[in-house]
């Protein structure tokens, strides 16, 4: 991976992090986000001097918004490191077997994490996880969630951590009601749960039928094993996720891996949505103290993320996109298909060689997947329909210049190519570079088409009036863009490079 690719991944990760944790409106699948974080970590390990200080790889995502009172946790509410293969799961077990009696395995609930404070037998506060150190006070909403007892037998002061979810049947009923009312349908239950808990008026919770599942006591009480801790939670009136203990020393690895995959197979039978399985050391106390924790996640637990499934669809056509260096990338245009909760209409084909390896033709039925990739990929041809060959252009589709061949790659060498200029401008104003807000693709298209700009340097010669465009850029936006350009002049020179 090159540094430019790293910076682009970083931008996507930060954007996805804000959408997920702060806006309760995810813009990508968890598997896609996990793949981005994994690639960021690999680059940063190989290039520690190039690691950006705002990288999300060593912190818990999200931060408290300004809408609720801030709550500071007495201990950090960490996230979990991810595993994607059986080998990674075995490596985790190999690193955690000392002084450990075994492991527990639970479904990884896909909801909103809450931290509850109890003292003198009563619920006194509830907060979202936020950035792991500071969350948002949502006590009034939490009091209306099924599974969160307001009064418990234990009078000690301690914290409970768990997940608020909306069961699948409740989510389906809610969407049926919205459909009958002519309202847009909700995308998934996780968004509904998160958005409901963070409403300013808790009365809006009444028709949401949310449930809380407790899975940890992170502070206030000490337990020898995870099973003991979960038993205590049940005694207090909490519901805990379905939990499996693995403590047969002779067959521990095979049993644990089998249990993780069993959870995957039985996913449809669970009442709530999940996105993986959580594996923790059975032993708590001194075992976990010895294993320790990092800035982002503990060393005594791991989340095994389920690999997204593929989908089969039809290849309608192939278009060629020009990048800022003139490199042409073939993109498959697909019959729209749902994959991992989102609709996929395009997929990367990389280069001419990749197309030849797939023996791809227009009209073929193809398998599309998103595992460990940001952009959907075509895995293979499922059924050849003996359609037309994919035409490799000899001229740039944007400027008409002749294309040169560099190995499996086509390149437009025309320095005046409009598509190259637009791509260069998009890259230049992006967040990881000059971070000029307000200049999106539509603005760039207009500035280039009208001849007002021929290079990124032209941006710094323009006055607010030069941006004015009827129906697109009014005076207020023009002034805002000019202000953003002025701010970009204060950035360090390495950002310009």
Query: Which residues are bridge partners to 278 per DSSP?
Result: 106, 303
Q: What DSSP designation does 54 have?
A: T
CA distances from 210 to 22, 205, 242 (A): 20, 8, 18
Taking the CA atoms of residue 374, residue 375, residue 380 and residue 386 in that order, the dihedral angle to the nearest 10 degrees is: 180
Q: Pull the structure tokens for residue 486.
A: 């002025």
CA distance 456 to 273: 46
Q: Pull the structure tokens for residue 17.
A: 């992090």
Contacts with 416 (C-beta within 8 Å, 6 or more apart), sequence order: 399
CA distance 2 to 323: 16
Q: Which of 108, 305, 314, 422 is catalytic?
A: 108
Contacts with 144 (C-beta within 8 Å, 6 or more apart), sequence order: 202, 205, 206, 210
CA 445, 331, 345, 57 torsion: positive or negative?
negative
Is position 108 annotated as part of the catalytic site?
yes
- Helical spans, DSSP H, in 415-458: 418-429, 441-449
Q: Pull the structure tokens for residue 99.
A: 């002084």
Q: Pull the structure tokens for residue 143.
A: 């009091």
Containing 178, the helix (H) or strand (E) segment is helix 168-180
CA distance 410 to 488: 34
CA-closest candidate to residue 308, choices 1, 34, 5, 38: 34
* Cα 494 off chain centre by: 28
| ∠ CA 226-229-232, rounded to 5° | 150
Question: In angstroms, how far is the first alpha carbon of the chain from the final one?
Answer: 18
CA distance 358 to 429: 36
CA-closest candidate to residue 62, choices 241, 194, 201: 194
Taking the CA atoms of residue 411, residue 412, residue 415 and residue 416 in that order, the dihedral angle to the nearest 10 degrees is: -160
Catalytic residues: 108
């Amino acid at each position: 991976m090159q540094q430019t690719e790293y910076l682009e991944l970083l931008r996507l990760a930060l954007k996805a992090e804000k959408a997920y944790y702060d806006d309760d409106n995810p813009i990508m699948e968890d598997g896609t986000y996990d793949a981005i974080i994994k690639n960021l970590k690999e680059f940063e390990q190989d290039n520690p001097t190039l690691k950006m200080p705002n990288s999300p790889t060593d912190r818990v995502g999200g931060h408290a918004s300004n809408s609720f009172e801030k709550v500071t946790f007495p201990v950090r509410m960490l996230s979990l490191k991810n595993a994607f293969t059986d080998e990674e799961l075995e490596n985790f077990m190999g690193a955690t077997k000392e002084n450990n009696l075994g492991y527990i395995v639970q479904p990884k609930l896909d909801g909103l994490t809450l931290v509850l404070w109890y003292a003198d037998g009563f619920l006194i506060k509830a907060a979202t996880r936020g950035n792991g150190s500071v969350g948002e006070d949502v006590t009034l909403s939490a009091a209306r969630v099924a599974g969160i007892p307001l009064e418990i037998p234990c009078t000690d002061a301690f914290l409970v951590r768990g997940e608020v979810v909306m069961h699948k049947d409740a989510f389906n009923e809610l969407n049926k009601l919205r459909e009958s009312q002519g309202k847009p349908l909700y995308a998934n239950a996780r968004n509904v749960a998160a958005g409901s808990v963070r409403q300013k008026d808790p009365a809006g919770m009444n028709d949401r039928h949310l449930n809380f599942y407790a899975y940890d006591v992170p502070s206030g009480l000490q337990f020898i094993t995870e099973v003991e801790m979960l038993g205590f939670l049940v005694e207090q009136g909490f519901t805990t996720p379905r939990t499996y203990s693995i403590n047969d020393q002779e067959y521990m690895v095979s049993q644990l891996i089998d249990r993780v995959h069993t959870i995957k197979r039985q996913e449809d039978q669970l009442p709530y949505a999940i996105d993986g399985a959580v594996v923790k050391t059975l032993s708590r106390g001194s075992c976990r103290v010895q294993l320790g924790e990092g800035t982002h996640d503990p060393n005594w637990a791991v989340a095994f993320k389920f690999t997204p499934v593929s989908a089969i669809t039809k290849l309608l056509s192939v278009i060629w996109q020009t990048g800022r260096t003139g490199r042409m990338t073939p993109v498959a245009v697909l019959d729209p298909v749902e994959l991992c909760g989102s609709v996929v209409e395009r997929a990367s084909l990389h280069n001419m060689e990749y197309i030849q390896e797939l023996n791809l033709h227009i009209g073929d039925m193809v398998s599309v997947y998103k595992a460990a990739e940001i952009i959907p990929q075509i895995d293979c041809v499922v059924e050849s329909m003996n359609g037309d060959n994919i035409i490799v252009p000899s001229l740039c589709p944007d400027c008409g210049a002749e294309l040169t061949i560099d190995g499996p790659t086509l390149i437009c060498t025309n320095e005046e190519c409009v598509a190259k200029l637009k791509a260069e401008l998009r890259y230049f104003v992006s967040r990881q570079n000059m971070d000029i807000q307000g200049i999106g693709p539509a603005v760039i298209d207009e500035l280039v088409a009208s001849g007002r700009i021929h290079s990124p340097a032209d941006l710094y010669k323009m006055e607010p009036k030069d941006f004015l465009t009827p129906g697109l850029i009014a005076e207020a936006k023009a002034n805002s863009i000019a202000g953003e350009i002025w701010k970009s002049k204060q950035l360090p020179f390495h950002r310009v490079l």
